Amino acid sequence: MAGFFSRASRHATQSQMLHDVRAVKRIGIALFNGFALPEAATVVEIFQSANAFCTSMRIGGPLYDIYLLSVGGGRIASSSSVFVWTDSIESRGYADEFHALFIAGGAGVHNMLSEERLIAWLRWLDLRSEKIFPIAEGQLLMDAAEFADKSHKLRRNEGDHTVAQGGLKVSGSKRSNTPLRAALAIIEEDLGAEVAREITGLVRLRFEAQFTGAPGRNVLGVVSEKIQSSVQWLEMNCGRAITIEEAAQFVAMSERNFLRRFKTEMGVTPSDYLLYVRIDKCCHLLSETDLPVDKIARRCGMGSGGQLSKVFRRYLGVTPTEYRASKRASRPA
């Protein structure tokens, strides 16, 4: 995922080269220390995939120029300690410069609710733009902007991810309620439904490989015996509710040291690794069995079919039923 952001930060040279051939539409992604990487990376990946696809297929249409933004600019750390370089919001403050703006989510959003410059900027943009899309906890920042100016009613979608009233829609569906769907709706509006479907397939394949291939990968190439044991324990117990405290106790480590060592050696947090394992197991059962979605969800520690659907839509862009159908359709007759 960090690679998506690295490519996004090199947008200036690419857009300059293609500016004379394709019109440029700027996509802003507002970040802060502690932002959640996966969903923000999804947005970057979608627009970069659209650029690459249209170039390779010689399809006319806009070039999406992605800007990573933060209050003061400079280096910003995600919740998983991946660093990205950003422009200052004050250097890109005009709403008409952005075709769309996404507001990152993540636990770090709580530290930004009292950041007056960010709140004032969001409020100013919201008065002038219909294409502002909060991602998960990013809605809290939009709520804070609304509280600061109660005369203006912000757009909401039943308290979930926001899409402008009268704004973009995915063909044949309700208003977009995930960053993936919101970004794809922009692609569909600009480039047509056929291109949007192609991009959906490309992104789904990449993220499916990422989330189902993540278990077993690590950063250092060497994993200590204790962390190996904790990995095995997480995999064996993924079908039930697990706490970090339990996992740390199993390998006789303090919770703080366990979190630090696991992240350093495996490259992801224990919680993220557990999610990867559960998604991988769900994908296998959906592909290889006829078990009902609810039963698969319970067996993999995902709670219910409804919760499993939310996770699949969030990370793979499809429902479990759609995933199962696509896998069966791709099998040889």
CATH of the domain at 271: 1.10.10.60
Helices (H) and strands (E) in the chain, counts: 14, 6
- Measured CA to CA, the distance from residue 307 to residue 282 in angstroms comes to 12
* Residues 151, 71 share a domain: yes
Last residue of a domain, one of 208, 227, 253: 208
- Measured CA to CA, the distance from residue 78 to residue 133 in angstroms comes to 19
* Residues 256, 166 share a domain: no
DSSP string, 34-59: TB-HHHHHHHHHHHHHHHHHHHHTT-
* Residues 144, 48 share a domain: yes
Q: Which residue range is the domain that position 138 belongs to?
A: 2-208
With a cut of 50, say whether residue 13 has pLDDT above it.
no
52: which residues sit within 8 A by CB, 6+ positions away?
A: none
- Mind listing the pLDDT tens digit for each residue in 194-231? 888 888 777 766 665 555 555 555 544 567 888 888 98
Domain count, the chain: 2
* Residues 166, 48 share a domain: yes
Q: Are 34 and 79 in contact (CB under 8 A)?
A: yes
Residue found by looking up tokens 């409804």 in the block: 306
* Residues 222, 202 share a domain: no
- Report yes or no on whether pTM surpasses 0.85: no
* Residues 300, 180 share a domain: no
- Mind listing the pLDDT tens digit for each residue in 54-85? 888 888 888 999 999 999 889 988 876 678 89
* Residues 96, 13 share a domain: yes
Residue 262: closest CA among 80, 118, 82, 58: 80
Alpha helices in 11-101 (DSSP H): 11-18, 37-56
Alpha-carbon Rg for the chain in angstroms = 21
Last residue of a domain, one of 156, 175, 208: 208
Q: What pLDDT shows up at residue 80?
A: 66
